Chains A and B, each alone.
Chain A
Amino acid sequence: MALPISVSACARAATAEEAAYRIDYPLAHARSTRVVAFDEKAEETVRSVAHGPWGQAQFYTTSATGEDLFTLDGERRPMAREIEHSDSVIMVGTNLLDSTAVAEVGMACRARSIMTAGLLLLDAGPLSGNTLSAIRPYARILLVPSDREDLFQLLRAIRA
């Protein structure tokens, strides 16, 4: 078979030299991220990460029903209002997580087409099927198990 040969923009564009001409401009923080801890153990991890160099990320704990969130200063805020202008919610929990709160937040995100990620920590022991069942329907992606570094790296990677 004759080999097709043609002048190709791809051949030039894929070189290191041409890569240097890609438009260089500062990227805005892409994500308006909310990080929610669903139990006390998860809260410890979220608090330890919250002091990082974040742009728009905000960090919360949740009420038992999930209808309210608490800032890490303890201020109560309606959950629906807090996530309204978010484009991603990161749900952090352990085996102790409250499935009612997870479902409430998860359904609110689904109704608003907000991307969700779940991080399950081992801080309260091995993960049970019930814990997985509680968060699975609501987390578009789930890290099992995960740790503080995963949360930090995820937030960094999505420019939170």
Chain B
Amino acid sequence: MLRPDINDLLTQTGPGTPMGDLFRRYWQPVLHTDELPSDGCPPVRVKILSERLIAVRTPEGEYGLMDEFCAHRGVSMFFGRVENGGIRCPYHGWKYNADGQAVEVPSELNNSEFCKNVKLRSYPLVKVGDILWAYLGDPDKRPPLPTWEFATVPSGQTFTSKRLQESNWLQALEGGIDSSHVTWLHGGGPTGAGLEADPLFAGSKGNQYNKGDLKPFFEVVENDGGLLIGARRNAEEGHYYWRVTPWVLPNFTMVPPRGDHPVHGHFWVPIDDENCWAWSFDYHPTRDLTEAEVSAMEDGAGVHSKNIPGTYRPVANKDNDYLIDREKQKTGELFSGVEGIAIQDSSLQESMGPIVDRTKERLVATDAGIIKARQKLRRAVEALRDHGTEPVGNIPEHQRIRSVAIVLPADQPFVEGIGDGFQAREGVRQTTV
């Protein structure tokens, strides 16, 4: 249960809100590079943290992200003409450069003098990996560029997708932290059929541990950038099988690996208070992804989704009841009746309503990871608001992290047993079972 004011504090991310201010201390993924595929290509509308923006790529190759609406009459610059040096509003010909600075106002006699005072709010938009990242905060507080491993390995080793989730970002994030749902929703419940049915999970020894122990224990451990959430199952005599999920503030989670399959994870990025982008990635630290793996990812396997062509809205969505198959639900072939991990999550998280009323919750002790994460978020928000304290998670030391799957002696703290297995290291394979 959360008090209503705390629920509001954590879920509202628009300009001027405390949580919005926190998000504005981080680089956030905004676009795939192929959404602005070439120099001088058409602009793209972007909505993030409740701000409507337009992203441009000039003929000279410069990226820009600025207020969507022309300063003159409020026309959407989506209809603008991308020209050398920027974008021009088609209504009266006002032209802006990639920084949002007006450079031509044809109706004005003293054009250059008038332009000096006309600037659309703009933000830096930079390419790291196959993603364009934006920073919407105070320029003086801008952190180093993102160093997440999935975005910095060679492009052949990584795959990223995104899907629209029609719920507040916190509902989606909490799904990423809530390890106790995996056995049921994704694991196929008592039958345990779910994991082996997915080509991006099948065949790992860890799946056998999962099936052999349906009531895992959990440990939630403080980490510099957030939390480490360990799910512990019985393994061979005197040993535990650990699956450890890192959460880095405010909205990054990773899924523990299985065998030599690629490692996956998510960013949960607020679009506005009732929608978010679920960015999903798969990468392998030491090898290229295979054609079969990429094909499966493009087809919506693993943590990805099959989207309506030309959009990022999943084919299975709330308008069609997520294509729930009651027969497969009945037989246990699909425990929830919904196909695919991503849609299994979104179907339930969206069903809670756009912003779930957390005053009505009945949490249990195994929800302690979620409780702790909310507490850390709240503390970070209040520390920034009240004392200007810089939040964690926006520096390379916190971002070079990995999820882990490992078998350890029963008396060993998993943090100690895993050691530098949590650290992203170039050329070193992930720690996995």
Contact = CB atoms under 8 A, between A and B. Distances in A.
25 contacts: A4-B315, A4-B320, A6-B320, A10-B318, A10-B319, A10-B321, A10-B322, A13-B351, A14-B352, A15-B354, A19-B357, A22-B357, A30-B362, A117-B365, A136-B411, A141-B365, A142-B217, A142-B220, A144-B219, A144-B413, A145-B222, A153-B375, A157-B2, A157-B371, A158-B365
Nearest to A131: B413
A14 B375 contact: no
Given A8-B318, A133-B411, A16 B274 contact: yes
Interface string B131-168: 00000000000000000000000000000000000110
B364 A132 contact: no
B318 A11 contact: yes
B308 A136 contact: no
A14 B217 contact: no
A8 B355 contact: no
B318 A136 contact: no
A109 to B, nearest CB: 11
A141 B368 contact: yes
B219 A141 contact: yes
A114 to B, nearest CB: 10
B367 interface: yes
A154 B355 CA distance: 22
Contacts of A77: none
A100 to B, nearest CB: 17
- Residue of A117, A143, A157 most packed against chain B (CB within 10 A): A157
Contacts of B410: 133, 136
A16 B353 contact: yes
Interface string A146-160: 000110011011110
Contacts of A145: 222
A127 B411 CA distance: 12
Interface in A11-67: 11, 13-16, 18-19, 22, 27, 30
Nearest to B347: A10
Given A6-B321, A14-B350, A19-B353, A158 B363 contact: yes
Contacts of A4: 315, 320, 323
Contacts of B222: 144-145
B111 interface: no
B362 A27 contact: yes
Interface residues of B, number: 47
Contacts of A132: 411, 413
A127 B366 CA distance: 22
B389 interface: no
Contact of B351 (A3, A14, A140, A150): A14
Contact of A14 (B318, B366, B416): B318
Interface in A120-144: 127, 129-130, 132-133, 136, 139-144
Q: Is the interface of A mostly helix, strand, loop or mixed?
A: mixed
Interface residues on A, range: 35 or more
B1 interface: yes
B412 interface: yes
A158 B219 CA distance: 18
A98 to B, nearest CB: 17
Interface in A95-110: none
B433 to A, nearest CB: 19
B220 A144 contact: yes
Given A19-B354, A140-B218, A8 B319 contact: yes
Given A5-B319, A14-B353, A154 B217 contact: no
Contacts of A159: 1, 362-363
A104 B374 CA distance: 32
B239 interface: no
A82 to B, nearest CB: 18
A116 interface: yes
A-B pairs, top 10 by smallest CB distance, nearest first, are A19-B353, A117-B365, A133-B411, A141-B218, A10-B318, A142-B219, A157-B363, A157-B371, A141-B368, A11-B318
Given A129-B416, A149-B375, A157-B361, 10 more contacts: A5-B320, A6-B319, A9-B321, A10-B322, A10-B351, A11-B318, A18-B353, A117-B368, A140-B365, A142-B219
B225 to A, nearest CB: 16
A1 B374 CA distance: 41
Interface in B314-332: 315, 318-323
